[in-house]
Amino acid sequence: MAFVSQLNQIPCKTLSLTPPHPRLTSKPSILAPNPLGLATPKLKISNPEFSWARPATRIRALDRDESGPEKPEEEEEPSDVAVAVAEPEEEKPAEPEEISKLKKALVDSFYGTDRGLSATSETRAEIVELITQLEAQNPTPAPTEALPLLNGKWILSYTSFAGLFPLLSRGTLPLVKVDEISQTIDSENFTVENSVRFAGPLATTSFSTNATFDVRSPKRVQLKFEEGVIGTPQLTDSLVIPEDVEFLGQKIDLAPFKGLLTSVQDTASSVVKSISSQPPLKFSISSTKAESWLLTTYLDPELRISRGDNGSVFVLLKEGSSLLTS
């Protein structure tokens, strides 16, 4: 106990774990204004025994160039969603002006010739000259190697084939005229259909032949006719009676017969209707002479010039071509 009493007499200073309250002093600081427009003070703590001060902090707005290198942008991950991009359509090359003029002149020269039947010798000579000039500038030197261009229906506009002239003559079939002669080519199945459409006062009908073809050269195909088809008559809207008809070189006035023809119109219409319900009549062609060849000497998307094995020429226009209405 004596030792404890002596220990209590040793002078000592009490250690306080709680520092005395610092005295805060404020001093204006040269700082950039903060976003609120207020200056941020710098605080300093003073104490008789020790001093604790907060280091000065300066805030300054940095330019983009001073902020250090930019972080590289993150690469976009590839998307699984397909985006359709419209590609510009390829423009078709313009047709040479000289060929366009020749084609227009050729089609104009057909006017009034009835597909060549009524053409004068002077007109034929002009047509032959225009055809020769076009053949010399043929844009498709090997037509049989460009079969898609041959595809489709071609309308006969002119021919020098005398074998068609009796068919085109109105005197051969009174009251009936040849409305259209066409050739339809299917290059995928190598077939050709030649068709003649007739128009009469009560109905229209057609006669056609079906053939297959083989490619024999870049310009020439061999045709083999296999089948003939007589189309089912189709009833027209009304009976049209002409003033006169030509038969065997003689004009026959039909005025006296108009009353009689009109009275039987209803009966004839009913007959045509009954015939129209029947299927087309087909027959095979087995003749050894049912073969021919055709040479295409000019071909573009709307005009075709072909020559037959008998020296005749055929000028055909593609169905839908503007040249058909020019």
pLDDT tens by residue, 236-286 = 655 556 666 665 556 666 666 666 656 655 666 666 666 666 788 888 887
Domain that holds residue 126: 97-320
User: Does the predicted model carry a pTM greater than 0.75?
Assistant: no
* Number of neighbouring beta carbons within 10 Å of residue 323: 17
pLDDT of residue 116: 93
Is residue 135 classed as helix, strand or coil in its secondary structure?
A: helix
Please tell me the distance from the alpha carbon of residue 141 to that of residue 217, in angstroms, as a whole number: 11
pLDDT of 103 reads 97
Check pLDDT > 90 for residue 214.
Answer: yes
> Is the distance from CB of 189 to CB of 211 less than 8 angstroms?
no
The two most distant CA atoms of the chain are separated, in Å, by 173
Give yes or no for residue 63 having a pLDDT over 80. no
Tell me whether residue 288 is in a domain: yes
Domain annotation covers residue 226: yes
Burial class of residue 180, CB neighbours in 10 A (0-12, 13-18, 19+): middle
Is there a domain that residue 24 lies in? no
DSSP-derived secondary structure letter, 245: E
For residue 253, what is the domain's CATH number? 2.40.128.280
pLDDT by residue (tens digit) across 109-124?
999 999 998 999 999 9
Report the run of H or E that residue 318 belongs to, with start and end. strand 313-318
Average pLDDT for residues 208-215, to the nearest whole number?
94
Overall number of domains in the chain: 1
Q: Would residue 303 count as lying in a domain? A: yes
Q: Is 49 exposed, middle or buried (0-12, 13-18, 19+ CB in 10 A)?
A: exposed
Provide the token pair at 158. Answer: 């002119």
pLDDT digits (tens, 9 = 90+) for 315-325: 999 999 999 98
- Domain-embedded: residue 217: yes
User: Which residue spans within 188-273 are E strands per DSSP?
Assistant: 191-199, 203-215, 220-230, 234-235, 244-247, 250-253
Region 59-71 average pLDDT? 49
Q: How many residues does the chain have?
A: 326
**With contact defined as beta carbons under 8 Å apart, do 164 and 181 qualify?**
yes
65 occurs within a structural domain: no
